[in-house]
Every structure is written in C-alpha cells, then in structure tokens.
Amino acid sequence: MAAVSPSQDILVQCVVVNKLAAAVRSYTNELISAREGRPLSTVAWLARCLLELLIWTEFCVKSPQNATNFAIDAVRDCDDLTKRFATMDLEGHPETISSLKDFGDIRTELEADLLPGELDKRYKDVRTAAQDIGKLSFFEVGFKVLSKYAHPTAMIIMIEPIQSERSILIRDTIIGQGLEMAKETATIVKAFLKPYIDSPNPAND
C-alpha cells in the first residue's frame, strides 16, 4: 500500500499522537518499576494517568480537530501556570523564575499556529473527551476506583494500615490494569500511524 503524504492538519495530529505515545511509554516504565514495593498510592496514580492517556489518545486519533483542540489546551495550561506564578513572591527563587521563562517560551511556540480567538474557547476536560468517544462509563468507573487509592481519601485514612498481603494483591491488580490500558493505547497509536510511517514528511517527535 502506498504511503500517505499527510496534510498540515494531519501532521499536527501525528505530532500530538506521538507525544501522547511518548507519555504512555514513560508512565508505563514507571508503573513497571513500581512492582518493586512502591506505595499503593503511587501505583494507583500512575495507572490513573494511563487511563487518562488512553482517553486522550483515542480522542485525538478520532479527528485532526480533536488533536488540535488538545494542543490548544496545552497553551491554556501554560497560561494558567503563568498566572499562578504571577501571584507569588519569586524573590529568592531563581529556579521558579527560570521555569516561568521556560513556560513563556513554550507558550509562544505552541501559540504560533493558532487562529485568532482559539484561546477564548473552553477547556476540553478528560471526562467530556471520554463521553465523546463512547467510553464515559469505562472512564468514570476506572477514575473513581483509582482515585480512591491515589489520594488520601477518607477510605484510605480509615482502613490504614492495609495488610501487607492484601496491599500487594491490590497493587499487582492495579499494575495489571494499567499495563492493559497502556497496551490498548499502543495498539490505537500503531493503527493510526501505520498509513504515515513511510510518508516523506513523517511527524516523528
């Protein structure tokens, strides 16, 4: 099958999907390392990140516009961080000032290709993205359960300490679920990128 030469909007979509795939690889490696006795809360948080990445990946491969909207939200995130930094007394914190400059540079780069008025639109939250791709129930159940273990919820506070054997069982179960979500995401990415792998203008990050 002949390789497809992607248009500009597809190139943006490929960049976004590649960055999501890189994030999945990173969190997957962290989750695998968590087998070595990492706290249950850490394991649950990593698995929850992989759940969100699965949703965002499937959302972004659905259409170039979805991927563009995700990229625009990155600019909004930079704006939010900059606003928070602006309310702080940064004297004596050169590393924070440096981070603020970095976010400003990233924002400028991300904003370069935006159309006027794009930033005035609302955020797309992950729950809405899950609804858009028909995975709202799957997301809500997984997010709720993993959040119970990822944060110091009333449940976790009141049942601590969890017996060692039970904690290991729960941790291993969550790790297994996280790895399954990572595998599903990798399959989605592979299927999406396949037509463009041999393209003369691949969007490899």
Distance CA 76, CA 127 (A): 18
pTM of the model: 0.80
Q: Which residue has the higher pLDDT, 2 or 85?
A: 85
* pLDDT of residue 71 exceeding 60: yes
53, 27 in Cβ contact below 8 A?
yes
**Residue 177: is its pLDDT beyond 70?**
yes
- Looking at residue 6, its pLDDT comes to 61
Q: With pLDDT > 90 as the criterion, what percentage of the chain qualifies?
A: 44
The structure tokens 């941790």 sit at: 171
At 2, the pLDDT band (50, 70, 90 cuts) reads: very low
The pLDDT value recorded for residue 1 is: 38
Q: Is the dihedral of CA 27, 31, 37, 43 positive or negative?
A: positive
